[in-house]
């Protein structure tokens, strides 16, 4: 399974990655929505997403809607 962790707090991002390392074939890390967009385009099985990213235009549930929109376009 290929995971994408999107969390702007680097220490928390690294901690989540470390915790899930044994359960995933690959873990991609992003600290901004811009980074996440590039990595998401490579194809992932699961996204763990901080919904309060500093570069997200709307800091509520924007990230979740964004992921669904991208997933529908890739099908």
pLDDT digits (tens, 9 = 90+) for 21-72: 999 999 999 999 889 889 988 889 998 988 778 777 655 444 555 555 555 5
- What pLDDT was estimated at residue 53? 80
- What pLDDT was estimated at residue 13? 97
Query: Does residue 20 contact residue 55 with C-beta atoms inside 8 Å?
Result: no
Angle at 51 between CA 34 and CA 6, to 5 degrees: 50
Sign, Cα dihedral of 63, 38, 18, 20: positive
Tokens of 21: 């390392």
- What pLDDT was estimated at residue 5? 95
Distance CA 28, CA 60 (A): 23
Name 3's bridge partners. Answer: 27, 46
């Amino acid at each position: 399974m290929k995971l994408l962790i999107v969390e702007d707090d680097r220490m928390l991002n690294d901690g989540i990655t470390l915790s899930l390392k044994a359960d995933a074939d690959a873990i991609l890390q992003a600290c901004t929505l811009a980074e996440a967009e590039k990595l998401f385009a490579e194809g992932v099985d699961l996204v763990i997403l901080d919904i309060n990213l500093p570069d997200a235009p709307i800091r509520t549930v924007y990230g979740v809607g964004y992921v669904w929109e991208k997933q529908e376009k890739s099908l």
